[in-house]
Amino acid sequence: MKGTVQITVPCGVVSKTILEGIGRLQRESVIGIRGTIKKMPKAPRGVEIIPEELRILNIAKPLPFEMRGRARLDIRLDERTLDLRRPESRAIFRIRHATLNAIRSFLLKEGYMEIQTPKIIASATEGGAALFPIIYYGREAFLAQSPQLYKEQLASVYEKVFEIGPVFRAEEFHTTRHLCEITSVDIEEAFVKAEDVMRVLESMIAFVIEIIKTKCDYELLILKRRLEIPRLPFPRFTYDDILEELRREDIHITWGEDLPTPALRKLGRLHKDYYFITDWPTQSKPFYMLPRGDNPRICDAFDLMHGWIEIASGGTRIHTRKLLEKRIKEQGLTPESFTFHLKVFDYGMPPHAGWGLGLERLLMALTGKKNIREVIFFPRDPRRLKP
Ligand code: AMO
């Protein structure tokens, strides 16, 4: 049997040594018990143990917060390992474990090969401001914001690749949905377009939910969370549709801008489940997204949303060197920093597409947690570097 069980210590039945020993214990102390199991319908598991032998392995000090009460998140995070013993936290990370397993088995079944790309890199991919610089043997280097360039390169060799790994974002904001270190699930595939990888993404989400519903029913119960398997395909709206919808709600966004938080909040009230936003302005997306042949102001990029939160983004990529160099310059970056990447495009780069999904953002959607710090073991944000 696994989990919690009630131990009852009736005076006059158990020995004096056991009674004294139990009296010395604090919550969360580590003990071993040998005893008789008795039926007890009122106990949480329907049984209780009457101890005949008690072994005290380690006595805990008084705890900094009440394990079954509602402690402030920052206090819990200061004592994260202890916090993880709370049934709710434990349930979240069981779901995280099952989610990762489900993602991996889905992508393997779909024929993607698992890759690992460097996390110490030489140049930005998602915009320079959000990079952590490091000193690498006297030279400047950075922590990777995304496996973007390497996954594109490896898709030119293996056609279908995926990576599950850490990425680092030097975020300036203090929000409930941003962290500085996250786990990113990335795919990249040759000879396909955005729409093809969007189908992979939505099928993967539906598969993950199906698995969580069956394998984590106990954890969902603890979190008081009901999950529905979403219907496929997910709704698709263009960026222009969304701007128009927001305009009707009296929120006016200049064409070309990203969607600010109040607009996202409004969208979340209008669309509660999963949906895609497609056809983004080229200027609002990274340099590697493919501009439309008929209208280069728009690119073949998409975001996957859940309510007001962006879970993933991706698109069709540029696969010719000339256009890629032009876009790098237009985004204010220097092509020389990307020589190692650009030259791969000289040797036959197939058309390709892919996406990157923030595991923690998906877990917020799955667990219903409102703060991203709840769904990562040891969060890193601008204020928190420990524990
Ligand atoms: P993007 O920068 O949109 O795209 O990141 C992909 C997904 O990662 C998650 N994410 C974050 N989660 C928590 N905190 C953060 N600071 C944070 N930053 C990003 C989001 C987001 O949707 N290379 C592209 C992907 C691609 O085109 O393949 C990229 O990195 O869920």
| Tens digit of each residue's pLDDT (9 = 90 or more) over 148-194 | 999 999 999 999 999 999 999 998 888 999 999 999 999 999 999 99
Q: What is the pLDDT of residues 191-216, one digit of tens each?
A: 999 999 999 999 999 999 999 999 99
Taking the C-alpha atoms of 304, 305, 310 and 314 in order, what is their torsion angle to the nearest 10 degrees? Answer: 10
Is residue 2 over pLDDT 80? no
Residue type, 157: V
Per-residue confidence (pLDDT) for residue 4, from 0 to 100: 87
Share of the chain above pLDDT 70, in %: 98
Per-residue confidence (pLDDT) for residue 172, from 0 to 100: 82
Share of the chain above pLDDT 90, in %: 91
Per-residue confidence (pLDDT) for residue 127, from 0 to 100: 64
310 Cα nearest atom in ligand 1: 22
Whole-angstrom distance, CA of residue 347 vs CA of residue 364: 41
User: Band of the pLDDT at 130, cuts 50, 70, 90?
Assistant: confident
Asked if 65 contacts 71 with a C-beta cutoff of 8 angstroms, the reply is yes
Cα separations (Å) of 72 from 26, 79, 347? 22, 11, 55
Is residue 128 over pLDDT 70? no
Shortest-distance Cα residue to atom 9 of ligand 1: 358
Helix (H) or strand (E) holding 20: helix 16-24
Crossing angle (nearest 10°) for helices 261-270 and 239-248: 90
Whole-angstrom distance, CA of residue 343 vs CA of residue 207: 38
Is residue 342 over pLDDT 80? yes
Whole-angstrom distance, CA of residue 370 vs CA of residue 143: 27
Shortest-distance Cα residue to atom 10 of ligand 1: 358
Mean pLDDT on 40-67: 94
125 Cα nearest atom in ligand 1: 23
Is residue 125 over pLDDT 80? no
Q: Which of 277, 305, 313, 370 to mutate to test the pocket of ligand 1 (most atoms within 8 A of CB)?
A: 313
Q: What is the pLDDT of residues 363-373, one digit of tens each?
A: 999 999 999 99
Q: What is the pLDDT of residues 6-43, one digit of tens each?
A: 999 998 899 999 999 999 999 999 999 999 999 999 99
Per-residue confidence (pLDDT) for residue 55, from 0 to 100: 97
Asked if 314 contacts 288 with a C-beta cutoff of 8 angstroms, the reply is no
Taking all residues of the chain, what is their mean pLDDT, rounded to a whole number?
95
151 Cα nearest atom in ligand 1: 28
Mean pLDDT on 266-273: 97
User: Band of the pLDDT at 1, cuts 50, 70, 90?
Assistant: low
Asked if 267 contacts 246 with a C-beta cutoff of 8 angstroms, the reply is yes
Nearest 5°: CA angle at 252, between 249 and 256? 130
Mean pLDDT on 84-109: 97
- The residue with greater pLDDT, 337 or 93, is 93
Mean pLDDT on 97-105: 98
The pocket around ligand 1, CB under 6 angstroms, is made up of: 126, 146, 148, 169, 171, 178-179, 182, 184, 186, 310-315, 354-358, 360-361
187 Cα nearest atom in ligand 1: 28
Is residue 228 over pLDDT 70? yes
